[in-house]
Amino acid sequence: MNSQELRAIEQSFGRFKRRLKEQAGRIQDLMDWKREAQRRLPALIVDPLAIPAAPGSPIFELQQIVTAKITAAGANPGEYTATVRRSVGDTHGHFENDPDLVTAITVKSLPVSGDGTQDHEFISLPVGAHVHVRWEGGSADGSEQFYHFVGFPGGKIAARVQSVDYDHLVVRLNGEGGVLGDENIYVAKSEELRRSPFSPNTTGDGKTYTYASPTQRTVSQGGTSETQVIVPAYRIPSGAYKGSLIFISPVVGGSTDVEVGGNKVHYVHQDARAWAKQ
């Protein structure tokens, strides 16, 4: 082996050592990050089964947001009874009551306007819905614990359309196993599908909109007209069919501009539906 070949081998070995050192540095960084994460987020390495089953137990101090299932409306406006839930085994999205944590908690919903003293001033939480809640603390004597609704997993809940009105839908929760909830939930349509902005027409587009039903209208301008329907159609229950499956979300810190019976509607449905020529 001549000197040139030896030098090439030495250079190659040098590059290998540098890459090895760089990889070792990255591994060390990952180990440091893991130790810091374990120090800052102990809830991630705590076995929930080893935590006392009591209100305000360490699981709620360490893991600020937990999943719960609404079981009933409470005695006061905006309050609900719920049970803490946990994920089961390796089945993603499958939850059951967690017997090792608090089995019954009171959840306060989000006020959406004003001082929140009336039922319709809070986001309504359907019985059977899974929600994310955060423990906010308790009374000095420990007799009361406070939990606040912070949102739905994924931001939306599944529902089945029961009826269609001009500006809103009536839906019911599509619960576990496809079981429908017992409560009617009022949901604002997306603005383009409502009647109120177009009859009388406030959009300034110079057209006349005449509604034959919540899902059919005639658009006229300059002596021509066109009949339109909502596509895809909203389907209501019939026989074994439970109605169109849609996903709804609450509106907080704003307004849907829809009211039913004098109560503000705080849920909205927006998807790809649109008016189309019949």
Q: What is the CATH number of the domain that holds 95?
A: 2.40.50
Average pLDDT of the residues of the chain: 78
pLDDT at 6: 74
CA–CA distance, 56 with 147 (Å, rounded to integer):
10
On whether the CB atoms of residues 73 and 114 are closer than 8 A, the answer is no
On whether the CB atoms of residues 64 and 134 are closer than 8 A, the answer is yes
Domain boundary at 131, 154, 177, which? 154
Cis peptide leading into 126, omega within 30 of 0? no
Give the range of the structural domain holding residue 272, as residue numbers without chain letter: 157-277
Evaluate if residue 119 carries a pLDDT over 70: no
Report the domain count for the chain: 3
Same domain, 232 and 126: no
Same domain, 114 and 199: no
Q: Which two tokens stand for residue 158?
A: 């599944």
- Of the candidates 74, 131, 133, the residue with the CA atom closest to the CA atom of residue 249: 131
pLDDT at 81: 86
Helix, coil or strand: residue 65: strand
Evaluate if residue 86 carries a pLDDT over 80: no
pLDDT at 44: 35
Same domain, 163 and 266: yes
Query: Bridge partners of 247?
Result: 158
Same domain, 15 and 113: no
Same domain, 169 and 150: no
Report field, pTM of the whole predicted structure over 0.85? no
Average pLDDT over residues 220-243: 95
Same domain, 214 and 114: no
Same domain, 172 and 265: yes
Domain boundary at 111, 133, 154, which? 154
Residue bearing the bigger pLDDT, 52 or 168: 168
How many CA atoms does the CB half-sphere of 269 hold within 13 Å? 27
Q: How many CB atoms lie within 10 A of CB 66?
A: 22
Q: Which residues 6+ apart lie within 8 Å of 65 measured at CB?
A: 132, 133, 134, 150
- Of the candidates 205, 185, 66, the residue with the CA atom closest to the CA atom of residue 128: 185
Q: What is the CA radius of gyration of the chain?
A: 28
Helix, coil or strand: residue 50: helix
Same domain, 163 and 269: yes
pLDDT at 159: 94
pLDDT of 138-183, one tens digit each? 666 666 667 888 888 878 889 999 999 999 999 999 987 888 998 8
Residue bearing the bigger pLDDT, 93 or 268: 268
pLDDT at 57: 47
Same domain, 228 and 137: no
Residue bearing the bigger pLDDT, 20 or 88: 20
Evaluate if residue 54 carries a pLDDT over 80: no
Same domain, 168 and 269: yes
Same domain, 139 and 174: no
Same domain, 62 and 147: yes
